[in-house]
Structure formats: structure tokens, C-alpha cells
Amino acid sequence: MGRYVIRRLLQMIPVFIGATLLIFVMVNVMGDPIAGLCGERKCDPATAAQLRAEFGLDKPLWQQYLTYLGNIFTGDFGTAFNGQPVTELMATAFPVTIRLTIVAIFFEIIIGITLGVITGLRRGRPVDTGVLLLTLVVISVPTFVTGLLAQLLLGVQWGWIQPSVSSDATFGELIVPGLVLASVSLAYVTRLTRTSIAENKRSDYVRTAVAKGLPRRRVTIRHLLRNSLIPVVTFIGTDIGALMGGAIVTERIFNIHGVGYQLYQGIVRQNTQTVVGFVTILVLIFMVANLLVDLLYAVLDPRIRYA
């Protein structure tokens, strides 16, 4: 187990370097960010040259990247154009997005798995068809449309929620945005659980358990659900990273000042330091989440042993 974890951690290094390099190059392809800082007029050349030097933009790309990577290891993520250290932006943005992700994952687990179990056990019945159709509708409407509709109806027309999230971004305020963010994944979790349950329902060990005369509920929860959850756990685990990075749209609609908002601002202003810094952290979260999922496998299925 220990050796396995170490090997996985070592494998993260090339992936980490590759992903940050990739995003670094991509943001640099966007071109010179200085021109945007001077409003509707030309930056005077002397100031522009000076700003370029200050942000290291006058160096060749590989050198910029190496410097950046070096700085990261000392905890220095650079400075945004408006003079704010990127770490400071992270300190305000990540807690908000983590809360939003927790809400989203919570809904995926509670609603997604519940619906999945119900439909999986009742395959072909009306409730199954109904839920299945509903998940398809949710998947086929783009998230930003769902979000705008939710904001308009719940926030403005009916006044059930505030249309935007305050800068405190409490869990209560994040319920609707979290649901919107989770909606598509939620539909997939439902479908995945349903398929998995339906498959396992007919497997030998469930038949045996039923034949032994174990109570229905016990069979479902202890035997069926536990085995069926493996692909679902995989999905949710990998979804953590995706939700945090994919929150750009949701955070924009509900004016949540989290990671997606900072990334959007960073991209619009072509602020390499902000974008690369935030993506670096997202990549780390993504990789760690994947590792945890794999370790969770061993918990769910004792037959899997990592060596």
C-alpha cells in the first residue's frame, strides 16, 4: 500500500509539470497583456517596457516558465496586474469554491445515488422511465440556461432566494448555485448508479444473500449498494476537480467570487500569474482526488489490494 502511494505520488510529478507548462504556454499564446492595462489609449512605450520587465514578460517563454516554477516551490505565486498577490486571491477564492463544490457533491451523492438505486431496483417501471427522461432533459440543456432560469424564477420572480451570492458565500446561499453546478453530474450519477445496481442485482452473491433469507433492506444496502458504488465513486472523485474548474459559468451567473470568477478575470485580463496559479492548484486537487478514489476502491472492495 505504502509503495503504491509513493509510486502514484511520483507519477504526479510529470503530470503536474506537463499540465502547468501546457496552461502556461496557452495563456502566453493569448499575447501581450500590457496593452489592455491602459484603457482606450496606447500605453506610453516607456511605461509599457517597464511593466513588461517587472512581470518578466520580456524574457523568453521557457525562462519565464522556469522562473515561475521555481517561485511556486517557494510559495510565491506572483502578483496580479492590480497589485494583488495571487496567493491572496487564492485565500479568498478557494474557500468559496470548495464550499460550492461540497454542496454540489452533496447533492450528487444524496439525490443522484438515491434516484439511481430506486430506478435500478425498478427497471422498466414508470418511475424508472420518468427519472431517466428527466436526467436526459437535464443533460441536454446547457448549464448556463439552467442557471439563468433558476436565477430568474427563484431569485427574481418568486423571491425564494437572493439572485446573487454575497461575498460571505455561506452554505445556505450556495444551495441553488450548487444544485445548478451539480445538475449535469447529478444526472450522470443517477444513470451510473442505476446501471450498476441493475447489473449487480442479478449477480450470484445477491441471489445467494436473498436465498439465505436475509432481509431485503439489508441485502440492498450491505451487498448490492456497496458493490455497485465502485463506478459511482470513481465518477464523483474525478468530478471534484471538474466541478471546481467548471464553475466558471455558475460563478459568473450567481456572482460568486470563487475560483471560476478569478480564472475568468485572469483570462480576460490575460493575467498569466493568476490563471496559471489557480490552474496549478486545480491540477493538484484533481490528482489527489484521483488517488483518494483509487484508495477508496480498496475500502469498498476488500479483494482489491494495491502492492
Enumerate residues 197-256 that contact another protein by CB under 8 A. 198-200, 202-204, 221-222, 226-228, 230-231, 234-235, 237-239, 241-246, 248-249, 251-255
Asked if 62 touches another protein (CB under 8 A), the answer is: no
Say how far residue 166 (Cα) sits from the centre of its chain: 21
Nearer CB in complex with another protein: 43/115:
43
Asked if 175 touches another protein (CB under 8 A), the answer is: yes
State the virtual CA torsion across 180, 93, 80, 277 in degrees, nearest 10.
-80
Stretch that binds another protein, among 57-65, 70-78, 186-194, 207-215 (CB under 8 A): 186-194
What is the closest distance, in whole angstroms, from the C-beta atom of residue 264 to another protein in the complex? Answer: 7
Nearer CB in complex with another protein: 67/301:
301
What is the closest distance, in whole angstroms, from the C-beta atom of residue 118 to another protein in the complex? Answer: 17
Pick the binder of another protein from 94, 108, 179, 191 (CB under 8 A).
Answer: 191
Pick the binder of another protein from 179, 209, 275, 281 (CB under 8 A).
Answer: 275
Reported as type and span, the H/E element at residue 83 is none
State the virtual CA torsion across 55, 31, 69, 291 in degrees, nearest 10.
140
Cα 207 to Cα 109: distance, rounded to the nearest angstrom: 26
CA proximity to 51, closest of 63, 68, 40, 38: 38
Nearer CB in complex with another protein: 66/134:
134
DSSP per-residue string spanning 242-277: HHHHHTHHHHHHTT--SHHHHHHHHHHTT-HHHHHH
Amino acid at 269: R
Asked if 39 touches another protein (CB under 8 A), the answer is: yes
What is the grid cell recorded at 267?
A: 483570462
CA separation, residue 167 to residues 103, 251, 259, 272, 274 (Å): 17, 12, 13, 25, 20
Nearer CB in complex with another protein: 211/307:
307
x/- letters, 68..107, toward another protein (CB under 8 A): -------------xxxx---xx--xx---------x--x-
Cα 205 to Cα 194: distance, rounded to the nearest angstrom: 18
Nearer CB in complex with another protein: 30/61:
30
Window 111 to 170, contacts with another protein (CB under 8 A): 136-137, 139-145, 148-149, 151-152, 155-156, 159, 162-164, 166-168, 170
